[in-house]
């Protein structure tokens, strides 16, 4: 095995964090990562996070203890990669602004709930997006508060059908950024584990996670 990855999962069952963690574990293992998977956030304070080249947070709508968050933030600032998706990373710890600063965004709404929309690739020249054009998608269309320093890879445009006053708003869907020495990749797609069956979604997340890894 080459690099090491840590997945920690938990929170609201509707986001299928346990099953999604297994999908991501298999994906990373196929790319020669030695993967540890842990329920909850306690591992962040009990383990030596410096040994991990990639950390994948998959805890949704939950809380985190200050020492756990401090250890995670320190690890990424010192060079561990961070990769995540949808609410398991973008709606994790609502009271923790430092976590949101690290991720680069925070979920605030999904008008219409599960709907059909389009993901528009904006950086087709980036290796993460290579060979992938804009594609239709059915899921929650995330409205997020985002960091203006993010390097946006794909966006979506709100039609206004489900909330008239956001008609025409262009919202980042996927981005990459740096946080200290660490690389961060985020995708707003992936409401449940079943969405990894969409080839574009799966390929982009896999490439993004590999890019983020130390």
pLDDT tens digit at each of 214 positions of the chain: 589 999 999 999 999 999 999 999 999 999 999 999 999 999 999 999 999 999 999 999 999 999 999 999 999 999 999 999 999 999 999 999 999 999 999 999 999 999 999 999 999 999 999 999 999 999 999 999 999 999 999 999 999 999 999 999 999 999 999 999 999 999 999 999 999 999 999 999 999 999 999 9
Alpha-carbon span 176 to 128, nearest angstrom: 10
Quote the number of domains for the chain: 1
Rg over alpha carbons for the chain, rounded to the nearest Å, is 16
- Rounded CA separation 63/168 (Å): 34
Helix (H) or strand (E) holding 84: strand 81-85
The CATH number that applies at residue 135 is: 3.40.50.880
Q: For residue 26, give the 3-state DSSP assignment.
A: helix
> Parallel, antiparallel, or unpaired: how do β-strands 170-179 and 151-157 relate?
antiparallel
Rounded Cα gap, residues 124 and 42, in angstroms: 39
Planar angle of CA 139, 88, 145, nearest 5 degrees? 75
Print burial letters for 52-78: b (CB count within 10 Å at least 16), e (below 16).
bbbbbbbbbbbebeeebbebbbebbee
Tell me, what's the pLDDT at 88?
98
DSSP 94: T
Distance CA 181, CA 21 (A): 25
Give dist(CA 188, CA 105) in Å, integer: 10
Provide the residue range defining the domain that includes 13.
4-212
Q: Which pLDDT value is given to residue 1?
A: 57
């Amino acid at each position: 095995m080459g690099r090491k990855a840590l997945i920690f999962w938990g929170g609201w069952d509707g986001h299928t964090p346990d099953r999604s963690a297994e999908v991501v574990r298999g994906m990373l293992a196929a790319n020669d990562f030695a993967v540890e998977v842990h329920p909850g956030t306690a591992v962040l304070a009990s383990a030596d996070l410096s040994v991990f080249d990639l950390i994948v947070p998959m805890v949704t709508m939950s809380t985190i203890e200050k020492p756990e968050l401090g250890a995670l933030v320190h690890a990424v600032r010192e060079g561990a990669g961070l990769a995540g998706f949808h609410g398991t990373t973008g709606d994790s710890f609502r009271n923790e602004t430092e976590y949101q600063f690290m991720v680069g965004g925070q979920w605030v709404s999904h008008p219409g709930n599960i709907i059909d929309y389009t993901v528009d690739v904006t950086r087709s020249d980036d290796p993460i997006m290579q060979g992938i054009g804009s594609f239709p998608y059915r899921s929650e269309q995330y409205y997020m508060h985002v960091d203006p320093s993010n390097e946006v890879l794909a966006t979506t445009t709100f039609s206004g059908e489900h909330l008239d006053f956001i008609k025409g708003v262009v919202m980042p869907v996927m981005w990459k950024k740096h946080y200290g020495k660490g690389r961060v990749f985020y995708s707003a797609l992936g409401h449940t584990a079943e969405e990894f069956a969409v080839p574009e979604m799966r390929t982009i997340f896999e490439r993004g996670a590999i890019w983020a890894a130390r």
